[in-house]
Amino acid sequence: MVIVKTAREISKMMDACRISANALRLAGEYVKPGITTWEIDEKVRKYIEKQGATPSFLGYGGFPASACISVNDVVIHGIPSKDQVLKEGDIVSVDVGAFYEGYHGDNAYTYACGKISETAQNLMDATRISLEKGIEAALAGNRVGDIGNAVQTYVEARGYSVVRDFVGHGVGAKLHEDPSIPNFGKAGRGVRLLPGMTIAIEPMICEGSYEVEILEDDWTTVTLDGKLAAHYENTIAITPDGPKIMTVPG
């Protein structure tokens, strides 16, 4: 069931989104050669808890960390580790959520670790812009398919592929609410977007094939062909005046 929020609920949710965005920005500041993904996760957890919030992901479905940190061919759900040391040229997708006073915020960004290849930069740029295209299509009266079609059209025209096995989602009192927000699809199809809906749009884009597999830890999701992937995400509200990005640091 799609949950439409009141203006008061959206205002309260903005606080969780701000904390989430600040935690994500903080994580990005630590993406440097020589640091472990576990150390970044610790920075994220401590920041969120200092704000009086709870990391949305910690313990969610058994996930053992506060942030998903996914390096290179890991698409999503990378588990932070003391053994994973970032190196020059890595691309590092960080996905962070915070739960505060009854609501979640959820966002992700792919960071460059030092100097990266042109191939990696182009993928990251295309994925980031595809998120912008998806948000632009999130207009009241449009449908979910308009968002997915905007993302898919943009990245496929540039030779990239869209992950099919994982999608965006509604977000609010629960981390994952209806409706699902695929990053692919036909314009004019799917659930209609209504003012008061709050959704997470999160393109997961691959350099090569969109086929993925989940490793034995039941979380880490990698590209089947071993090529790079990038991931960007914002939580937004559908308003009569257009989409409002809620996960803004400040």
**pLDDT mean over 163-169:** 98
Q: What is the CATH number of the domain that holds 83?
A: 3.90.230.10
* Alpha carbon 215 to chain centroid, angstroms: 20
Instruction: Determine, yes or no, domain membership for 250.
Output: no
pLDDT of residue 149: 98
- Contact present, 42 and 184 (Cβ < 8 Å): no
- Residue range of the domain that includes 206: 7-244
User: CA-to-CA distance for 118 and 234, rounded, in angstroms?
Assistant: 25
Give the total number of structural domains in the chain: 1
Instruction: Determine, yes or no, domain membership for 203.
Output: yes
Q: What is the pLDDT of residues 93-139, one digit of tens each?
A: 999 999 999 999 999 999 999 999 999 999 999 999 999 999 999 99
Instruction: Determine, yes or no, domain membership for 1.
Output: no
Instruction: Determine, yes or no, domain membership for 142.
Output: yes
* Alpha carbon 144 to chain centroid, angstroms: 17
Query: DSSP letters of 169-221?
Result: EE-SSSSSEEEEE-SS--TT-SSBP-TT-EEEE--EEESS---EEE-TTSS-E
Instruction: Determine, yes or no, domain membership for 249.
Output: no
Instruction: Determine, yes or no, domain membership for 37.
Output: yes
Exposed / middle / buried, residue 188 (Cβ in 10 Å: 0-12, 13-18, 19+) = exposed
Instruction: Determine, yes or no, domain membership for 17.
Output: yes
Q: Residue 205: which residues within 8 A CB-CB, separation 6 or more?
A: 123, 126, 127, 130, 155, 160, 161, 162, 163, 183, 229, 230, 231
Instruction: Determine, yes or no, domain membership for 200.
Output: yes
pTM: 0.97
